[in-house]
A and B are shown apart, each in its own frame.
Chain A
Amino acid sequence: MAVNQLELVFPFDQGFSELLASFKNNFSVNFQAETVNYRVFYDTFDWLLYNNGSALEAHEEGPSRRIYWRADKDGDLKIQLGLRQVPQLASDLAECEFRRQLKSVISVRELLPRIKIKIKRLPLVVLDKNKKVVVRLSFDEHWYFPSKTRAGVVLGKRITIKPVKGYEDEHNQVVEFFRSLQLHEARDNMQKLALAESGISTTEYTTKLNLLLEAEIPAEQALKQVLLRLLDIMQQNSAGSIRGRDTEFMHDYRVSIRKTRSALTQINKVLPRDIISKYNKFFSGLGKLTNPVRDLDVFQIKLESYQRGLSKTAQERLQPLRDYLAQSRAEAQKEFVNTLKSAEYRQRIKEWREYLENPEPTDPPLEDTRKEIYKLADELIWNMYQLALEEGSAITDDTEAEALHELRKTCKKLRYLMEFFQSLYPANKISELIQALKGLQDNLGEYNDLYVHGGILEIFIKQSSDTDAKKACKQMIKLIERRQTKTRRRFAERFASFSSAGIQQEFKDLFVESQKERL
């Protein structure tokens, strides 16, 4: 078994043969057949493990699979896990310390094989006079193939010396031999080296738009950049959404659809009408497909906390509900997948990209097409903020829930506009206002989730014949209603802080006054 194996760096550009010859003069060795092994590093789509300094890797040697986990960069202790395969989700694992650690880093995200290193290995053994193996060595070449079309590169050469239990003296002699050649001890940096070769950025993925818009460019150009970035995010997340295991893909996919629609309908005097109506229809259809999946995902996440308010027996009676949720989700997911895999979908997306990438200005222009973007952004944001204030102030303790729903949508539109054009404003100021808005949005969002979840339970109750489960669900609805009341009570306070004189002034400074300064 490999206990304290020693790994040495061998110069990149030299062959092993000379060294092997000299080694053979000193020890009785036996060469074994060359093998090809793999080291596969697993990570989430957005490299959560790598960015956390942890690593999860599988060593594939013939039919054997070993899985190692390193919790963080500083804890260089790599432990072998008693697993036969890498889990897809943290929740696939039974309750254990590893699951806890993994979950704290990757949350609900799915693990994928991200970096595969091929190790061409020449193993040899040192024998004693009874022809018993007493030390095991290997001369390894680590290869990385960045893509199917690019040639492989050698990341490094290594000599590994593994002691055999009970033969420590022989091991020390071999180590001595290599030490005298002044070879450095290797650090485990293969993943890093491979990443450098791959051109992959481990920090690039973000759902933030991170656009750097220039203030004076025409609105059309700016809007196309925003929409293109949203399309990128959508496409980055479509394969994962189709797989459907990691709910974050669908979430990010869906948010970029919503932002796209919001951009098309709020910034509606820039692009030609026929374009707006065509794509608004298309994305609205897509968005609708994602609604039931996402609602059920969120509900399932929340279910754990809802059912805590029920008795143990009532909780156990919820199995039919869980089955119903799983089945409904599977059906909704299937419909979504069918659409995403259709030729029509691909064609539409392709056309959309072509349209956005085409630099040709719209001719004849619409009212805002050529307006400088900072002016348009100011107007749009300011108007939307006014609308939010108006809607919010009209809400009292006995206003219909419908009004809260409207305000929630308005706040979302405002939020998206602020995010689209974030780079046009001083970073600290705009993010402060986004934070203020977020406080209110969280409250409205929670209220809405509770409303949707009550609705899911109502539908289940209507179609189920299991009286016990129905009874438990009715209890749960009561609990949800109680939470809704509480959430609603907090609204006034949240809205008050969002509409305070101070915040209003800051909105005004940023989106009205700054224009004057510019002039």
Chain B
Amino acid sequence: MKVIAIYNIKGGVGKTATAVNLSYLASLDGANTLIWDLDPQGAASYYFRIKAKVKGGAQKLVEGKQGLEDAIKGTDYENLDLLPADFSYRDMDFYVELTKKPEMHLNKLLKPLSGEYDYVFLDCPPSISTASESVFDAADVLLVPTIPTTLSLRTYKQIKKFFKQEHYDSMKILPFFAMVDMRKQMHRLIVEYPPSFMPGVLDSYIPYASEVERMGINRAPLGHFSAHSRAAICYKSMWDEIKSHLYPTA
């Protein structure tokens, strides 16, 4: 089981869109896939028409395998399941707990699912909370969508710095450019000449495209209603690139 976290401290950079589209592509490969909506806003759950509500509250999730299993819902797509967000996350500050209590560490929560799923995608909320550490530990790769602007690059640098300070494996970080608008001079420059502190930036990038916004109206992954659009093709080639990172020899 490979855990892929989509993470950025910055909000609105396309994390959820990425998590939804990539998990859908993984399921099309025939891989058993789970997307865990870790954001109390429940955007990913919304895209899959699933109520952002865990029966018995988020507390249930930490009550062992059964707790998680009961909360998982099948999506409209074969091989793709979702663990919904819960509004009550916010009240109990689920995230703080995720790191502080060893029994709530994501790694530990995910372990019982490892026989069942090939991929778990974590759609993370934008935050600098200490909970991120639990994500960093559990993830095999940390996808960081980055808009090609000076400000976003600074944020990316912060994440890297944090990784270094806390001795996480920085090889896990896979940044890519998101919401790219090649008509903009700055976007073009940064995408064509990525800064030296982004040596591992993916070759594939996601353009700014209105189809991606339409996901919210259709409540479906892009590939489902517009498989041949430019953005859908970009997600597909990004997924292939990520797989070649996960399975270097294959």
Closest to A123 in B: B78
Contact check, B30 vs A132: say whether CB atoms are below 8 A apart.
Answer: no
Which one of B15-23, B68-76, B88-96, B167-175 contacts A? B68-76
Min C-beta distance of B78 to chain A, whole Å: 7
B50, CB-defined interface residue at 8 Å:
yes
Minimum CB–CB distance for A121 against chain B, Å: 12
- Give the interface SS of chain A, mostly helix, strand, loop or mixed: loop
Among the interface residues B30, B50, B73, which one has the most CB atoms of the partner chain A within 10 A?
A: B30
On whether the beta carbons of A167 and B73 are closer than 8 Å, the reply is yes
Within 8 A of B (CB), among A121-171: 125, 130-133, 136, 162-167
Which of B30, B32, B73, B250 is A164 in contact with, Cβ under 8 Å?
B73
B28's partner among A2, A63, A84 (CB-CB below 8 A) is A63
**Is B118 an interface residue when CB atoms closer than 8 A count as contact?**
yes
Contacts of B28 in A (CB 8 A): 62-64
Residue of A nearest to B31 (CB): A64
Residues of chain B lying within 8 A (CB to CB) of residue A166: 72-74
The residue in B74, B79, B116, B118 that gathers the most chain A C-beta atoms within 10 A of its C-beta is: B74
A132-B76, A133-B75, A166-B74 in contact; A61/B30 too (CB < 8 A)?
yes
Partner of B49, one of A61, A82, A84, A130: A130
Interface of B is mostly: loop
- Residues from chain B with a CB closer than 8 A to the CB of A164 are 73-75
Q: Determine the residue in chain A with the shortest Cβ distance to B118.
A: A82
Chain A positions within 8 Å of B73 at CB level = 164-167
Q: How far is the CB of B29 from chain A (nearest CB, A)?
A: 6
A454→B79 CA distance, assembly (Å): 56
Expressed in whole angstroms, the Cα–Cα distance for A65 and B81 within the complex equals 18
Which chain B residues border A1 with CB–CB below 8 Å?
A: 32, 74, 78-79, 81, 116
Known A-B contacts A64-B28, A164-B73; A132 and B79 likewise in contact (beta carbons under 8 Å): no
Most buried by B among A1, A62, A84, A164: A1
Asked if A294 is at the interface (CB within 8 A of a chain B CB), the reply is no
Interface string of A51-89 (1 = CB under 8 A from B): 000000000011111100000000000000010100000
Knowing A1-B79, A1-B81, the reply to whether A65 touches B72 (Cβ < 8 A) is: no
Q: Which residues of B contact A61 (CB under 8 A)?
A: 30
CA distance A132 to B50 in the complex (A): 8
A467 to B49, CA, bound (A): 70
Q: How far is the CA of A162 from the CA of B74 in the complex (A)?
A: 11
In the bound complex, do residue B250 and residue A84 qualify as a contact, i.e. CB atoms below 8 Å apart?
yes
B81 touches A165 (CB 8 A): yes
Residue of chain A at shortest CB distance from B250: A84
Interface residues of B in 39-64 (CB under 8 A from A): 49-50
Within 8 A of A (CB), among B72-110: 72-76, 78-79, 81
Q: In the complex, A188 Cα to B218 Cα: how many Å?
A: 38
A64 touching B75 by the CB < 8 A rule?
A: no
Chain A neighbourhood of B74, CB < 8 A: 1, 133, 163-167
Contact with A along B2-20 (1 / 0, CB 8 A): 0000000000000000000
Tell me, in angstroms, the Cα distance from A84 to B74 when the chains sit together.
Answer: 23
Residues of B within 8 A of A66 (CB): 30
The residues of A that contact B76 with a CB separation of less than 8 Å are 125, 132-133
**Set B49, B72, B81: member contacting A132, Cβ < 8 A:** B49
A61 to B49, CA, bound (A): 25
How far in angstroms is the closest Cβ of chain A from B155?
A: 36
Within the complex, which residue of B49, B72, B118 is in contact with A165, where a contact is CB–CB below 8 Å? B72
> Which residues of B have CB within 8 Å of A63?
28-30
- Residues of B near A136 (CB, < 8 A) are 78
B172 vs chain A, min Cβ distance (A): 22
Shortest C-beta distance, A416 to chain B (Å), equals 47
B83 to chain A, nearest CB (A): 10
Question: Can you name the residue of chain A whose Cβ is closest to the Cβ of B219?
Answer: A131
Measured between beta carbons, the chain B residues less than 8 angstroms from A133 are 74-76
Q: Which chain B residues border A65 with CB–CB below 8 Å?
A: 30
Residues in A with CB closer than 8 Å to B81 are: 1, 165
A1-26 contacts to B, CB under 8 A, are 1-2
Measured in the bound complex, the distance between the Cα atoms of B30 and A62 in whole Å is 9
Name the residue on B nearest A136 (C-beta): B78
Task: Give every chain A residue within 8 A of B78 (Cβ-Cβ).
Answer: 1-2, 136, 162
B30 proximity list for chain A (CB < 8 A): 61, 63-66
B217, chain A: closest CB distance, angstroms:
13
A423 → B minimal CB distance (Å): 51
Q: Which chain A positions have C-beta within 8 A of B49? A: 130-132
Alpha-carbon distance A65/B31, docked complex (angstroms): 9
B71 nearest in chain A by CB position: A166
Which residue of the partner chain A has the closest CB to B117? Answer: A1
Residues from 104 to 133 in B contacting A, C-beta threshold 8 Å: 116, 118
Distance from A161 Cβ to chain B, minimum over Cβ atoms (Å)? 13
Give the shortest distance, in Å, between A39 (CB) and chain B (any CB).
14
Residues of B within 8 A of A62 (CB): 28
A62 and B116 CA atoms in complex are apart in Å by 22
Give chain B residues whose Cβ lies under 8 Å from the Cβ of A64.
28-31, 79
Residue of A63, A65, A165 with most chain B CB atoms under a 10 A cut-off: A165
Chain B residues, Cβ within 8 Å of A165: 72-74, 81
Assembled-state Cα–Cα distance A348/B32 (Å): 54
Shortest beta-carbon distance from B113 to chain A in Å: 11
Interface set of B (CB-CB < 8 Å, partner A): 28-32, 49-50, 72-76, 78-79, 81, 116, 118, 250
What are 18 contact pairs spanning A and B, CB under 8 A?
A1-B74, A1-B78, A1-B79, A1-B81, A2-B78, A61-B30, A63-B28, A63-B30, A64-B29, A64-B30, A66-B30, A125-B76, A132-B49, A133-B76, A164-B73, A164-B74, A166-B72, A167-B74
With A61-B30, A133-B74, A162-B78 known, 12 other A-B pairs at CB within 8 A are A1-B78, A1-B79, A63-B29, A64-B30, A66-B30, A130-B49, A132-B50, A132-B76, A165-B72, A165-B74, A165-B81, A167-B73
